[in-house]
Amino acid sequence: MRRFVLIALVLLALLTPLPLTPAALAQGGLTLFTRFPAQQVARGEDINFPLILRAPTPQVARLSVPNLPEGWTATLRGDGRVVEAAYVLPDEDTRVELRVQPAENAAPGEYRLSVVAEGNGESATLQLQITVKEQLPPSLVFDVDLPNVRGAPDSTFRFNTTLRNEGDTDLTTNLLAEVPPGWFVRFRAVGQEVTSLPVRANGSESISVEVEAPEGVELGSFPIYVKAESGDVRAEVTLTAEVVGQPQVNLTTPDGRLSGQATIGQTATYTLLVRNTGSAPARNITMSGTPPSGWTVEFQPANIAELGGGAQQEVTVNLRPADQAVAGDYVVSFSARPEEGRSSSVDFRITVLTSTLWGIVGIVLIAIAVGVVGLAVSRFGRR
């Protein structure tokens, strides 16, 4: 009987849930951490720690830095403002920046401090380590505004980069690049082409990287590896030149002649030839002209929806000089403008002639005048 009772008590103890201890609560409660809790800083410089708060339930977490070394200051900022607490939501990180300013006379060495977050009866403590050094070791960092640039095969790919020296020693850096075969790279700083340049301690230099593709390059993406070296210190950045097709519209005539004739009072017809010599389709090509005042010009068609690479299309131009136009030579500009890419224009010389009808009328008037004069002479000359 005793053995049965003992076994029953043991089973009951095993099946009865234990109350949560403070340690268990801490595992699922408020959490405070940073990605890099131990950092180095040179004397006289501040240091920033991006803090991240997490919690299983909504709550307000009060923040403090209780054990700062003597003479040091710490500031907590959220959204650019000084804060003392942060509201934490479940499944959402709350970010706070801790800025620590060591004392001016802080001796080189290791310093430890802690950040405490308290909320809903729970607390979380983050231990930080700051190593103050007389000088930071040499360090180079490459930054780039746009690492991926698109362009036509014959264009120059330009990348704006910044080379930063995060150490306390001035450095003279050599600039290098690894490119696909046939490609060409040049570096420019302060408007001049350079292969090396000095970068002051805790300073930076703006560098323009210009990349040119070889003739006949295929369309696609090409990696450009740029390096800056100074002894054993180096920085690297990967750039990408994306070669894309581009339309190239050319406007001419089927026989190459850029001149013609027109008669006052009549419509003259000419033929233009629109060619796309590029590697991509030219879309929505709009035809236009700039005739003299009072002239009319019409295109058939006035718009080309799409013209593939290597394709061409004829366009008919109907041009009528002004009724008040004077016989002579005139220049009319015709243009073809695609939706993307450069437009193409040609100057067409028009020789304007008077109408044959007016010539006949003039001859008749002259004949009438001559007849009238002859009649008058014959009649009054006898008297």
Same domain, yes or no: 119 and 166: no
- Tens of pLDDT, residue by residue over 139-168, are 899 999 999 999 888 889 999 999 999 888
- Which residue blocks in the chain are alpha helix, DSSP H? 2-15, 22-28, 356-381
Same domain, yes or no: 190 and 110: no
Same domain, yes or no: 253 and 239: no
Tally of structural domains, the chain: 3
Establish if 116 belongs to a structural domain: yes
Query: From the CB of residue 166, how many other CB atoms can be counted at a distance below 10 Å?
Result: 16
Same domain, yes or no: 154 and 228: yes
Same domain, yes or no: 94 and 124: yes
Same domain, yes or no: 344 and 259: yes
Same domain, yes or no: 229 and 288: no
Where does a domain end: 109, 133, 157? 133
* Ranges in the chain, pLDDT < 70: 1-28, 355-364, 367, 370-383
Same domain, yes or no: 145 and 128: no
What does the buried/exposed string (b/e) look like for 295-320 if buried means 16 or more CB atoms within 10 Å of the residue's CB?
A: bebebeeeebeebeeeeeeebebebb
Same domain, yes or no: 174 and 152: yes
Provide the pLDDT for residue 34.
Answer: 95
Same domain, yes or no: 148 and 211: yes
- Tens of pLDDT, residue by residue over 272-301, are 999 998 878 899 999 999 999 999 999 999
Same domain, yes or no: 122 and 147: no
Cα 164 to Cα 142, 143, 187, 201, 208: the distances in Å are 6, 8, 16, 9, 14
Please state, in angstroms and rounded to a whole number, the distance separating the CA atoms of residues 201 and 170: 5
Establish if 68 belongs to a structural domain: yes
Where are any strands of DSSP class E within 9-121?
A: 31-33, 38-42, 47-54, 59-64, 73-78, 81-82, 85-88, 94-101, 109-119
Where does a domain end: 214, 243, 272? 243
The backbone region for 8, taken as left when phi is positive above 0, alpha when psi lies in -120 to 50, beta otherwise, is alpha
Establish if 306 belongs to a structural domain: yes
Provide the pLDDT for residue 165.
Answer: 92
Establish if 362 belongs to a structural domain: no
Establish if 8 belongs to a structural domain: no
Provide the pLDDT for residue 371.
Answer: 67
Establish if 73 belongs to a structural domain: yes
Establish if 145 belongs to a structural domain: yes
Domain hosting residue 283, numbered range: 249-356
Please state, in angstroms and rounded to a whole number, the distance separating the CA atoms of residues 97 and 199: 29
Query: From the CB of residue 84, how many other CB atoms can be counted at a distance below 10 Å?
Result: 9
Per-residue three-class SS string for 91-109: CCCEEEEEEEECCCCCCCE
Give the phi and the psi of residue 15 in degrees, each rounded to 5. Answer: -85, -15
Please give the single-letter amino acid code of residue 247: P
The DSSP bridge partners found for residue 315 are 272
Where does a domain end: 99, 133, 167? 133
Residue 336 DSSP symbol: E
Query: From the CB of residue 112, how many other CB atoms can be counted at a distance below 10 Å?
Result: 11
Give the phi and the psi of residue 24 in degrees, each rounded to 5. Answer: -65, -40
Cα 196 to Cα 147, 187, 230: the distances in Å are 21, 9, 10
Establish if 275 belongs to a structural domain: yes
Provide the pLDDT for residue 325.
Answer: 85
Cβ(208)–Cβ(193) below 8 Å: no
Which secondary-structure segment (H or E) carries 189?
Answer: strand 184-189
- CATH number of the domain encompassing residue 199: 2.60.40.10
Same domain, yes or no: 206 and 283: no
In terms of C-beta density within 10 A (0-12 exposed, 13-18 middle, 19 or more buried), how is residue 377 classed? exposed
